[in-house]
Amino acid sequence: MRASVMLLPLLALTACATPRERCVNQANSEVRVINSLITQTQGNLTRGYALAEQQEVRVLRRSCEGTNADGSTFRFPCEETETFTRNVPVAIDLNAEQAKLESLQDRLALEQRRAQTATRQCIAQYPE
């Protein structure tokens, strides 16, 4: 989910991009995702635990104001429901997390080579 949220501003900019910029952006999208996952995994190893998003609902009780037919106002108790997300610590297997990091770094090297080739193709296809 976090990666998709990070890509929203990028998608908004893509709508205004030239065909070449869109092509290069698409060619490098997998590299960005893998870099994000590497950063997250390194953070998990540094902390010694992962962070999981947990949604919670809270009901806020307050006093609301209404208007009668004659124009006078009155107060009454009301509730507002609020949903929020918080990060909670989650135990992880540090050895498995280290293996995941190494795997992601290997994958990043492969993906960067593929992205470079695809970027060169974009530049050739859409010269400016």
- For 51, the 3-state DSSP assignment is strand
Helix (H) or strand (E) run with residue 4 in it: helix 2-14
Mean pLDDT of the chain: 90
Torsion of CA 122, 123, 126, 128, to 10 degrees: 150
| pLDDT > 80? residue 100 | yes
Residue 36 shares a structural domain with residue 56: no
Residue 24 shares a structural domain with residue 56: no
| pLDDT > 60? residue 47 | yes
Tokens of 9: 């501003």
Residue 44 shares a structural domain with residue 69: no
Supply the range of the domain harboring residue 81: 52-90
What is the distance, to the nearest Å, from the Cα of residue 75 to the centroid of all Cα atoms in its chain?
Answer: 41
Q: How many domains does the chain have?
A: 2
**Placement of tokens 């540094």 in the chain:** 46
Where does the pLDDT of residue 77 fall: very low under 50, low under 70, confident under 90, or very high at 90 and above?
A: very high
Residue 97 shares a structural domain with residue 85: no
Residue 15 shares a structural domain with residue 70: no
pLDDT for res 16: 82
CB 25 within 8 A of CB 12: no
pLDDT for res 126: 86
Residue 24 shares a structural domain with residue 74: no
